[in-house]
């Protein structure tokens, strides 16, 4: 049962495997890659889509992909071992000059990856690395087989950083040691361009464990260290142009460096121009180096041209044309010219044309041509050759070493105590058998200034040894004769009658749009006859074209150098991508041109990928876009540039005055598209389109807030979706009050304006110097203004930076620093003081700054005032990898030192943390303090009953609500009590107040009381029911008075006495009287007693007198008034009621007596009139 189950399972798995492996159809035939069309049918929209299909489906026959050039492809090529690929089923991508550009990363460094791939050809593609930190041109590994990269350009000029793992050219490299990277790969007719500053790719080509690899006809320029570095077996390095013609002083120059392997061939290569410039380059130069340990097979080094050498500086600087170690070599027919070596040499420098260091490992050195002509004053050791051991040479002869300030040659460690170097005669005497037949003649190169190194010295004509079995032709393909010319170029006699020469193949423009061009072929008569006709054969990309006949009239150069020249134009040659043109002279004046050293020339012309880039693809409203056209240089006067713009990416208009490589737009408020129209030799093309997007985070609505009287308020704003809200105190300040949709104000006394804007904000951290290799300690103490200069293309907030502290006398210490932001004039805009910990060079101190930085130029971020003096900041004082972009907002331009001109030094401020974004227009938001009614009814009060008090709530125009139900501004009060009012003004603000009013009645009593007392004549007086009396004034009728409320008085004589009591309070006075009869010694007899309580007020009176009866059940009948002499001055009508108003305005000032007749009898009262 178990066997049957396993059998069933195996069948099931086989069926599944069959079904899955046949789920996709293998590719075969022709396809296109066109990013303007969608993937479908036989088209793929991207290289990734095409290579993905190859990887998934495999192939069943040869596959050819034709790329449609146009807009650059943002892509790279990654291929592995494709199922079905073989020597008959190949994969070819015809690039047709298309551009692939890619922003390389740490995990995707390579523009091309061929990982174990087989029989793949990449042709005529332009690759552009966009990262400044990472970039490999290509990686070929994992035993790839028979892959080819031909006629491609690898533009690595943007890769500024040098790092062996991050930046490389074309690399054959395996992650596993000793694993073959590729067998039979072919790298030909390519251009690899490195950065033109001091960093960039380490190698042009690097080969590790390669087998049968050919590197041919490539231009490798401006690498960091090595042109070609290789090892492996049976590899051929042929016809490559290796130079640093655009690079400043470097770390050294190694043209071709063989590190290991067997049967290597290095031939026909040009190695030249160690760097650009005329200053001293103090680095070493190795033209060709063989450091392999191969003692069984010969490395062939022949027909190589090494020239324009600079180097050999301080210390033990070395300049070697060819240097070999413990290995066997055939060094034949090489030309080495060291005439441009500069004055950087020291007494310890070594300069050798050829240096052989092997011991008992035989090398052959023949037919080489060396010229060393450094400045006469240049120190150091120089010789045409150096043989460490005589035993290292199998044969050395028929060479020419011309050294104008040094030695013919050296052979050290052979004759101890002998001179270190010899002239030719002495060397040949001291070392018989070495350099037999060698000479020391000036080769008199034909035109070294134009890199024509054919020797014209007739004494060198036909002096070489016949090596045609090993070296059949010179580096230009001219056959070697039985008596060949020394060096890489075969000699041509100037006595040939019909000798036409091709000097150069060019176009008028060095930068080219794809299209048809006139190819200009520079000609010269180098024979003795006037040339009237020439016939040319030529090839275009290896395809033979129709021969061209040319009629001319070129006299001999000896007659007229100018008239010995002419130019042939091949019209309408289509250039698209990399196009190789080879042209040679077939006949001159109708006869065969037999001098093949000068009649053939080949050149590869690449069309240019013109690219627009913007500093920021998204900018804020009202800001300007900054755009740059690449290439930035190389344009001829006849070339034209015209920037164009569009508001819809459909219709385009020329921008007036915009004809330079850089363009600064006016302030933009809407999305705008830009491109550049380029015209080279009447061929027009366009760049990619750069889209500038406007970020305008606006405010949808705002809400004011108001409050009655001083206080805090909450203001509101609603932004566009995704935006933040920023609050400010005025329309122009950069000081941010608050971020958020609502804002609570501080306590306000008056209406205050605030301003709000929408903002988009992003945060980023970037390191202003990359790696921190602290090889120097810089003390900032007492030296102000050391730091960095930068531009801000849009506003941002610098939240923090990092610094590294160090104390000279302690592993851990505390210091204090000031970091300041200054404008271009050195004015401090913002600054921060902070403590810094020094900890043995390792501790990173993050310094919070929160500097708000508007858009502007030439800001300075500097460190000041470090204390104590022993405290230092760590940094890279020789850091020069500027400029450094601040992501999306600006550019760090350079270091800044001690208030001097900005320089590439003093980088101590690392890892900037920034916030950036756009702000819309600011809108006004008001915090309104409304007026509150001012209300004061006054203090609580008591008033007299005879008075009227008017209460006024003021605040005219308001509404009023009294507790008396009144709604007027004023009310009159008549009764005691609490009065309150609520006042609401036109701003709907309210206030209330209250007042208590007490009405004071006139003083009163019901009656005067009295009793006999002792001794005789003593009367005890009092009052019945006294009310509201503050002061008593008794008049006893005998001239005596008292202020006691209940006095005792003694009368001394008999008689009738009118006793009067004047009662006084704050409002009024009142009188009450009684008549008593005093009889001594007997008791007092009652004469008259008030039968009613009558009060009179005010007393004294000015206008009116009120007479009020307070006795219940008693009615007033009428009133009679007498003056002080007893005359009746007033008698009332009958009185109804208990109150009588008496006008005294007709009475003179004085004292009056009143009889009040009541139903109970007569009451007497006294009053005064006073005015």
Q: What is the mean pLDDT of the chain?
A: 86
Higher pLDDT, 998 or 716: 716
Average pLDDT of 268-288? 80
Average pLDDT of 938-955? 86
**Residue 52 phi/psi, 5° resolution?**
-65, -40
Q: Which two tokens stand for residue 102?
A: 């890619």
Burial of 38 (0-12, 13-18, 19+ CB in 10 A): exposed
State which H helix or E strand residue 2 sits in.
Answer: helix 2-21
pLDDT digits (tens, 9 = 90+) for 1150-1163: 888 888 889 888 88
**Beta carbons of 1152 and 1169 less than 8 angstroms apart:** yes
Higher pLDDT, 462 or 3: 462
Higher pLDDT, 1067 or 302: 302
What's the CA gap between 650 and 38, in Å, rounded? 20
Nearest to 942 by CA among 975, 911, 967: 975
Average pLDDT of 702-709? 92
pLDDT of 1068: 83
Highest-confidence range of 108-122, 781-795, 1087-1101, by mean pLDDT?
Answer: 108-122
Average pLDDT of 900-928? 76
pLDDT digits (tens, 9 = 90+) for 471-481: 999 998 888 98
Average pLDDT of 797-818? 77
Answer whether residue 863 shows pLDDT above 70: yes
pLDDT digits (tens, 9 = 90+) for 769-778: 544 444 444 4
Number of H helices, E strands in the chain: 3, 98
Q: Which two tokens stand for residue 1001?
A: 């009645």
> What is the CATH T-level fold of the domain 931-1000, as seen in this structure?
Immunoglobulin-like (2.60.40)
pLDDT digits (tens, 9 = 90+) for 956-969: 999 999 999 999 99
pLDDT of 955: 93
CB atoms within 10 A of CB 349: 25
pLDDT of 743: 94
Average pLDDT of 182-194? 97
Choice among 257-266, 371-380, 505-514, 1031-1040 with the minimum mean pLDDT = 371-380
Q: Rounding to the nearest 10 degrees, give the CA dihedral for residues 203, 205, 209, 210.
A: 180
Choice among 367-371, 555-559, 573-577 with the minimum mean pLDDT = 555-559
Answer whether residue 495 shows pLDDT above 70: no
Higher pLDDT, 1052 or 224: 224
Q: 318 pLDDT band (50/70/90 cuts)? A: confident
Answer whether residue 228 shows pLDDT above 90: yes
What's the CA gap between 34 and 47, in Å, rounded? 9
Higher pLDDT, 349 or 529: 529
pLDDT digits (tens, 9 = 90+) for 649-690: 999 999 999 999 999 899 888 999 999 999 999 899 999 999
Answer whether residue 314 shows pLDDT above 70: no
939: Cβ contacts below 8 Å, ≥ 6 apart: 995
What's the CA gap between 763 and 132, in Å, rounded? 22
Class for the domain spanning 769-908: mainly beta
Answer whether residue 407 shows pLDDT above 90: no
Average pLDDT of 147-174? 94
pLDDT of 249: 66
Higher pLDDT, 127 or 250: 127
Average pLDDT of 152-167? 94
pLDDT of 282: 62
**Beta carbons of 261 and 235 less than 8 angstroms apart:** yes
Residue-by-residue DSSP string for 291-350: -----SSEEEEES-EEES-----TTT-EEEEEEE-SSEEEEES-EEE-TT--TT--TT-E
pLDDT of 1159: 87
pLDDT of 769: 52
Higher pLDDT, 669 or 530: 530
Prior bond of 1015 cis (ω within 30°): yes
Average pLDDT of 408-427? 72
- 500-606 and 769-908, same CATH topology: no
Nearest to 1005 by CA among 1067, 1100, 1095, 1090: 1095
Q: 1060 pLDDT band (50/70/90 cuts)? A: very high
pLDDT of 839: 64
Answer whether residue 414 shows pLDDT above 60: no
pLDDT of 298: 95
pLDDT of 456: 80
Average pLDDT of 1070-1098? 70
Domain 611-695 coded CATH 2.60.40.10: yes
pLDDT of 45: 96
pLDDT digits (tens, 9 = 90+) for 331-347: 999 999 987 665 445 55
pLDDT of 364: 96
pLDDT of 419: 59
pLDDT digits (tens, 9 = 90+) for 1099-1141: 888 889 999 988 888 899 999 988 867 688 999 988 888 899 9
pLDDT of 211: 96
Question: In residues, how long is the chain?
Answer: 1171
pLDDT of 272: 93
Answer whether residue 731 shows pLDDT above 50: yes
pLDDT of 281: 59
What's the CA gap between 26 and 222, in Å, rounded? 42
Average pLDDT of 369-380? 75
Share of the chain above pLDDT 90, in %: 51
Q: Is 138 left (phi over 0), alpha (psi -120 to 50) or beta?
A: beta
Q: 1086 pLDDT band (50/70/90 cuts)? A: very low
> What is the CATH T-level fold of the domain 1090-1171, as seen in this structure?
Immunoglobulin-like (2.60.40)
User: Any idea where the domains of the chain sit in the sequence?
Assistant: 21-247, 257-491, 500-606, 611-695, 699-761, 769-908, 931-1000, 1090-1171
Answer whether residue 125 shows pLDDT above 60: yes
1018: Cβ contacts below 8 Å, ≥ 6 apart: 1012, 1048, 1049, 1050, 1051
- For the chain, what is the largest distance between any 2 Cα atoms, rounded to a whole number of angstroms? 192
The bridge status of strand 226-233 relative to strand 203-211 is parallel
In CATH terms, the superfamily for domain 500-606 is Immunoglobulins (2.60.40.10)
Average pLDDT of 355-384? 83
pLDDT digits (tens, 9 = 90+) for 815-858: 888 999 999 888 899 999 998 887 655 677 889 998 888 888 88
Q: 762 pLDDT band (50/70/90 cuts)? A: low
CB atoms within 10 A of CB 809: 8
Average pLDDT of 312-328? 76
What's the CA gap between 234 and 215, in Å, rounded? 12
294: Cβ contacts below 8 Å, ≥ 6 apart: 260, 261, 262, 327, 328
Q: Rounding to the nearest 10 degrees, give the CA dihedral for residues 1091, 1095, 1096, 1098.
A: 170
Answer whether residue 381 shows pLDDT above 60: yes
CB atoms within 10 A of CB 1143: 11
Q: 1 pLDDT band (50/70/90 cuts)? A: very low
What's the CA gap between 786 and 765, in Å, rounded? 22
Three-state SS for 247?
A: coil
């Amino acid at each position: 049962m178990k066997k049957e189950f396993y059998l069933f399972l195996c069948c099931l798995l086989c069926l599944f495997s069959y079904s899955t492996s046949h789920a996709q159809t293998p590719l075969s035939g022709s396809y296109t890659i066109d990013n303007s069309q969608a993937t479908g049918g036989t088209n793929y929209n991207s290289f990734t889509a095409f290579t993905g299909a190859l990887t998934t489906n495999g192939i069943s026959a040869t596959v050819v992909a034709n790329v449609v050039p146009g807009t650059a492809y943002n892509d790279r090529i990654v291929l592995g071992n494709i199922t079905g690929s073989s020597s008959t089923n190949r994969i070819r991508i015809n690039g047709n000059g298309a551009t692939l550009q890619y922003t390389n990363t740490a995990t995707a460094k390579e523009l091309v990856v061929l990982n174990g791939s087989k029989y793949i050809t990449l042709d005529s593609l332009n690759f552009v690395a966009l990262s400044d930190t990472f970039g490999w041109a290509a990686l070929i590994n994992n035993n790839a087989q028979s892959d080819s990269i031909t006629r491609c350009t690898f533009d690595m000029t943007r890769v500024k950083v040098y790092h062996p793992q991050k930046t490389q050219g074309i690399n054959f490299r395996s992650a596993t040691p000793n694993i073959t990277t590729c067998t039979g790969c072919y790298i030909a007719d390519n251009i690899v361009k490195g950065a033109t500053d001091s960093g960039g790719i380490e190698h042009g080509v690097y080969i590790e464990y390669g087998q049968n690899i050919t590197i041919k006809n490539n231009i490798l320029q401006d690498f960091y260290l090595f042109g070609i570095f290789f090892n492996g077996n049976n590899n051929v390095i042929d016809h490559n142009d290796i130079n640093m013609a655009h690079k400043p002083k470097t770390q050294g120059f190694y043209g071709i460096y063989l590190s290991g392997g067997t049967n290597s061939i290095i031939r026909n290569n040009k190695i030249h121009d160690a760097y650009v410039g005329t200053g001293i380059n103090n680095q070493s130069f190795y033209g060709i180096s063989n450091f392999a340990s191969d003692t069984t097979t010969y490395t062939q080094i022949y027909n190589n041209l090494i020239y324009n050498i600079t180097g050999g500086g301080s210390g033990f600087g070395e300049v070697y044309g060819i240097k070999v170690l413990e290995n066997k070599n055939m060094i034949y027919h090489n030309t080495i010219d060291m005439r441009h070596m500069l004055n950087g040499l020291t007494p310890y420098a070594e300069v050798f044309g050829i240096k052989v260091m092997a011991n008992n490992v035989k090398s052959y050195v023949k037919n080489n041509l060396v010229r060393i002509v450094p400045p006469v004053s240049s120190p150091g050791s120089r010789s045409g050759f150096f043989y460490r051991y005589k035993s290292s040479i199998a044969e050395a002869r028929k060479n020419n070493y011309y050294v104008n300030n040094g030695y013919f040659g050296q052979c050290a460690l052979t004759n101890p105590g002998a001179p270190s170097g010899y002239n030719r005669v002495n060397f040949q005497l001291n070392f018989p058998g070495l350099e037999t037949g060698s000479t020391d003649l000036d080769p008199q190169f034909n035109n070294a200034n134009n890199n024509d190194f054919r020797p014209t010295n007739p004494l060198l004509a036909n002096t070489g040894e016949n090596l045609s079995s090993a070296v059949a032709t010179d580096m230009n393909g001219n056959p070697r004769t039985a008596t060949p010319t020394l060096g890489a170029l075969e000699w041509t006699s100037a006595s040939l009658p019909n000798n036409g020469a091709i000097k150069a193949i060019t176009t008028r423009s060095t930068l080219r749009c794809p299209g048809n061009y006139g190819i200009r072929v520079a000609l010269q008569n180098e024979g003795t006859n006037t040339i009237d006709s020439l016939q040319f054969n030529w090839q275009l990309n290896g395809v033979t074209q129709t021969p061209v006949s040319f009629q001319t009239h070129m006299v001999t150069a000896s007659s007229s150098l100018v008239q010995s020249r002419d130019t042939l134009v091949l019209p309408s040659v289509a250039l698209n991508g990399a196009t190789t043109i080879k042209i040679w002279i077939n006949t001159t004046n109708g006869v065969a041109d037999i001098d093949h050293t000068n009649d053939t020339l080949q050149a590869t012309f690449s069309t240019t990928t013109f690219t627009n880039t913007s500093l920021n693809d998204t900018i804020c409203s009202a800001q300007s876009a900054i755009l740059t056209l690449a290439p930035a240089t190389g344009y001829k006067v006849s070339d034209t540039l015209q920037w164009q713009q569009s508001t819809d990416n459909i219709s385009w208009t020329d921008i007036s005055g915009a004809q330079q490589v850089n363009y600064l737009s006016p302030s933009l408020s809407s999305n705008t598209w830009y491109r550049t129209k380029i015209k080279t030799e009447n061929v027009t093309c366009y760049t990619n389109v750069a889209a500038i997007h406007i970020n305008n985070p606006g405010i949808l609505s705002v809400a004011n807030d108001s409050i009655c009287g001083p206080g805090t308020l909450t203001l509101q704003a609603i932004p566009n979706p995704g935006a933040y809200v920023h609050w400010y105190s005025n329309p122009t300040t950069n000081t941010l009050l608050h971020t958020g949709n609502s804002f609570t104000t501080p306590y306000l006394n008056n209406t205050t304006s605030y301003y709000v804007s929408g903002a988009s904000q992003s945060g980023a951290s970037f390191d202003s110097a990359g790696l921190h290799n602290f090889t120097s300690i810089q003390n900032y103490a007492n030296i102000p203004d050391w730091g960095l200069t930068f531009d801000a293309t849009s506003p941002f907030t610098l939240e923090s930076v990092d610094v590294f502290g160090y104390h000279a006398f302690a592993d851990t210490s505390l210091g204090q620093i000031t970091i300041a932001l200054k404008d271009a004039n050195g004015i401090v805009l913002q600054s921060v003081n902070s403590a810094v910990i020094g900890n043995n060079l390792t501790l990173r101190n993050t310094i919070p700054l929160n500097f708000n930085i508007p858009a502007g130029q030439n800001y300075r971020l500097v460190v000041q005032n470090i204390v104590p003096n022993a405290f230092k900041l760590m940094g890279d004082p020789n850091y020069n990898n500027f400029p450094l972009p601040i992501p999306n907002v600006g550019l760090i331009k350079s270091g800044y030192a001690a208030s001097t001109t900005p320089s590439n030094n003093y980088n101590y401020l690392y890892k900037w943390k920034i916030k950036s974004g756009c702000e819309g227009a600011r809108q006004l938001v008001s915090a309104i303090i409304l007026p509150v009614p001012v209300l004061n009814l006054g203090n609580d009060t008591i008033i007299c009953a005879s008075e009227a008090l008017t209460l006024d709530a003021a605040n005219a125009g308001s509404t009023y609500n009294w507790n008396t139900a009144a709604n007027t501004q004023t009310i009159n009060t008549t009764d005691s009590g609490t009065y309150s009012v609520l006042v609401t003004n036109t701003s709907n603000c309210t206030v209330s107040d209250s007042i208590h009013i007490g009405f004071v009645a006139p003083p009163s009593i019901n009656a005067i009381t009295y009793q006999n007392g002792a001794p005789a004549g003593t009367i005890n007086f009092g009052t019945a029911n006294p009310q509201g009396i503050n002061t008593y004034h008794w008049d006893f009728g005998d001239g005596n008075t008292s202020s006691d409320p209940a006095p005792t008085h003694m009368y001394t004589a008999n008689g009738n006495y009118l006793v009067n009591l004047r009662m006084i309070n704050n409002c009024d006075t009142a009188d009450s009287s009684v008549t008593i009869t005093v009889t001594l010694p007997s008791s007092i007899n009652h004469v008259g007693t008030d039968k009613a309580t009558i009060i009179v007020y005010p007393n004294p009176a000015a206008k009116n007198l009120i007479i009020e009866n307070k006795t219940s059940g008693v009615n007033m009948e009428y009133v009679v008034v007498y003056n002080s002499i007893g005359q009746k001055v007033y008698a009332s009508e009958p009185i109804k009621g208990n109150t009588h108003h008496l006008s005294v305005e007709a009475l003179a000032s004085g004292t009056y007596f009143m009889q009040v007749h009541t139903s109970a009898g007569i009451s007497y009262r006294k009053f005064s009139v006073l005015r």
